[in-house]
Amino acid sequence: MAATGVLAAGMSVGLASMPSAAVSAPAAPVAAQVMDEILEPGESASTDNLSLIANLPKPEAFAAEGAYNSDFAFQGKHAFVGNYNGFSIYDISVPAKPKLVNTVVCPGAQNDITVYGDLLFLSTDSVRSDDSCNSTAGQASNPTMWEGMKIWDISDINNPEYIKSVRTACGSHTHTLVPDGESVLIYVSSYSPSTNNVYCQPPHDAISIIDVPLDDPTAAEVIDVPVLFPGSTGRSNTSGCHDITVYPELDIAAGACMGDGILMDISNPREPVVTERVRDEANFAFWHSATFNNDGTKVVFTDELGGGGAAICRPAFRENQGANGIYDIVDGQLEFASYYKIPRENTIRENCVAHNGTLIPVKGKDIMVQSWYQGGISVFDFTDSENPTELAWFDRGPLSAERLILGGSWSSGWYNGHIYSSDIQQGFDVLEMKDPSIASANGSKYKEFNAQTQPSYKDAPGQSKKNG
C-alpha cells in the first residue's frame, strides 16, 4: 500500500491509501452531546463507575511517537501488546500493579497480535526488505520484499523465539485464529491491492488461510486464498477484509470488509462460505471490525471513517458517522437495528472514531467495552439492539493543544475481572468497573483470549471448548 505516513489501528497505512475511509462533507450536521467542559491536555475524566487503576508508559524501545501501540491478546496471567516496532509482554497477576516482563523489537506495522498455546502470531502489513526483525522499509515492486505473518515460540515467556514467517498476498493487516483439531488456522485479512506491488496485484477480493500444525509450527503454510466477494462496486470497492471475527462454538464468522459487512459459515473452517452480505451506502465509509453478541443473534460492526486519523467526534459529523452499526441476525440475514456513537464532543486535535472492543461476559445481557481512540473508552448495553445505552466511559484530553498527535485507545477489552486498554501513545492501561450491571461477569475466567476468536459464556463461566 502506498502511504505518506502510518496511521493507527485498523488503521491503515495512511489516509491516502484508504479512499473508502476518506472524510467527506457531511449533510445535516447534528451536534454531539458534550461534557461539562472539553478536556485539556493532561486532564482525564470518567463516570463514577469506571476508574483507571494502573498505567504503564510504553517501554523505552517504543517511546517514539511513531511507535504506535496496537492490538492485544491474553493468556493466563500475561497480556501481550502489539506495537508497530514489535511487542511487549506484561504480568497482570495483580491487575492494579502490572509489570513489564519483556519487550521484543521487531518492526512491521501494525503487528496485530494473537496467542495460542506456546505460539504467538504477528501481522505485518508494511512492505519490508525481508522477513527478519532487522528489516528496513522495502520497495513494493521488488520481488525480494516481504510482508505477511510471523510466528513465535513463547514457551519461555522471557525469551520468545522467532521460528517462522509466511508471506501472504497483500501482507497481513489483521488476522484471526481458528482452532481446527491438530492445527490452528489463521484467516489473514488484507486489502488495497496495487499494480505496483509484486505480491498484491488487483483484484484482491480474498483472504489467505494459513495452516499451522501444532506439532510442527515451522511447517506453517498458506493452504488457500479463497475469493469471498468478486466484482464489488459502489462507494467503497471491496478489495479484501479489514477484520474477521469467528465464533467457533457456533460455526459462524462476521467480516468487516471495507465496503461490506458479511456473515460466513465456518463449519468447515478450511472452506469458509459467505452466507450474507450487506452495505450501508448512506453512512458507513469503511467497515472495520465485527463483534457478535453471546447468543450469536447480533453483530456490532464498526465504521472507521477517516482511517483512524481524523477528528470524527465533532459537531460537523452526524451522530451515525464513524459509529457502530448494530445488526440483528434473523434467519441467517443481517437486519439493521441502530447506530451507536459516543455522545461526547472532542476537540479538533483528537482523532476519534469507532474502533476495537470486546464483550463483557454478562449473562442475559449484551454489553460491550470499546475503544474510540482519543474519544476514550465506552461501555454500552445493546441488549435492546434498537436502543443501545452507554453505561460508563473514560477519556483523556488531547495529547497536544497545538497539533493532532495520533493517539488514544486502540483496543480495549474485558479479561478476568478488569478492563484493559492498549493506548497508542500512553501505554498499557488497567481499568476497573464497579457497577451492578456487569457484576455477573466476574465469575467468568478465560485461560486465553483473542478478541477475534470469540468464546461462548452462555453455558458456564470460562473458556469456550474450541478456544482453550
Domain boundaries, the chain: 15-467
Q: Band of the pLDDT at 122, cuts 50, 70, 90?
A: very high
How far does the chain reach from its first CA to its final CA, in angstroms? 35
CA atoms of 199 and 391, how far apart (whole Å): 45
Whether residue 23 has pLDDT greater than 80: no
pLDDT at 230: 75
Please check whether residue 73 is in contact with residue 115, taking contact to mean a CB–CB distance below 8 angstroms.
yes
Whether residue 425 has pLDDT greater than 60: yes
**Residue type at 60 in one-letter notation:** E
Beta-strand runs (E) in 62-140: 69-75, 78-83, 86-91, 99-105, 110-116, 119-124
Whether residue 30 has pLDDT greater than 80: no
Q: Band of the pLDDT at 36, cuts 50, 70, 90?
A: low
| 402: number of Cβ within 10 Å | 8
Whether residue 5 has pLDDT greater than 70: no
Question: Whole-model pTM above 0.85?
Answer: yes
pLDDT at 38: 85
Residues 419-437: what's their mean pLDDT?
98
The model's pLDDT over 335-393, given as tens digits with 9 standing for 90+, comes to 999 999 999 999 999 999 999 999 999 999 999 999 999 999 999 999 999 999 999 99
Q: Band of the pLDDT at 13, cuts 50, 70, 90?
A: very low
**Residue type at 124 in one-letter notation:** T
Lowest mean pLDDT among 7-11, 77-81, 147-151: 7-11
Q: Band of the pLDDT at 443, cuts 50, 70, 90?
A: confident
Q: What is the DSSP letter of 128?
A: B
Q: Band of the pLDDT at 451, cuts 50, 70, 90?
A: very high
Q: Band of the pLDDT at 232, cuts 50, 70, 90?
A: low
Say which CATH architecture domain 15-467 belongs to.
Answer: 7 Propeller (2.130)
Average pLDDT score, the chain: 90
The model's pLDDT over 244-299, given as tens digits with 9 standing for 90+, comes to 999 999 999 999 999 999 999 999 999 999 999 999 999 999 999 999 999 999 99
β pairing state of 409-415 and 418-423:
antiparallel
The model's pLDDT over 298-339, given as tens digits with 9 standing for 90+, comes to 999 999 999 999 999 999 999 899 999 999 999 999 999 999
Q: How many helices (H) and strands (E) does the chain have?
A: 0, 30
Largest CA distance in the chain: 58
Q: Band of the pLDDT at 8, cuts 50, 70, 90?
A: very low
Residues 118-138: what's their mean pLDDT?
97
CA atoms of 393 and 186, how far apart (whole Å): 33
Closest by alpha carbon to 307, among 226, 248, 236? 236
Q: How many CA atoms lie within 13 A of 8 on its CB side?
A: 34
Please check whether residue 323 is in contact with residue 340, taking contact to mean a CB–CB distance below 8 angstroms.
yes
Please check whether residue 176 is in contact with residue 292, taking contact to mean a CB–CB distance below 8 angstroms.
no
pLDDT at 231: 67
Output the nine-digit C-alpha cell for 314. Answer: 465533532
CA atoms of 145 and 135, how far apart (whole Å): 10
CA atoms of 192 and 11, how far apart (whole Å): 13
> In 3-state terms, the chain is what percent helix, strand and coil (to 5)?
5, 40, 50
**Residue type at 169 in one-letter notation:** A
Please check whether residue 93 is in contact with residue 111, taking contact to mean a CB–CB distance below 8 angstroms.
no
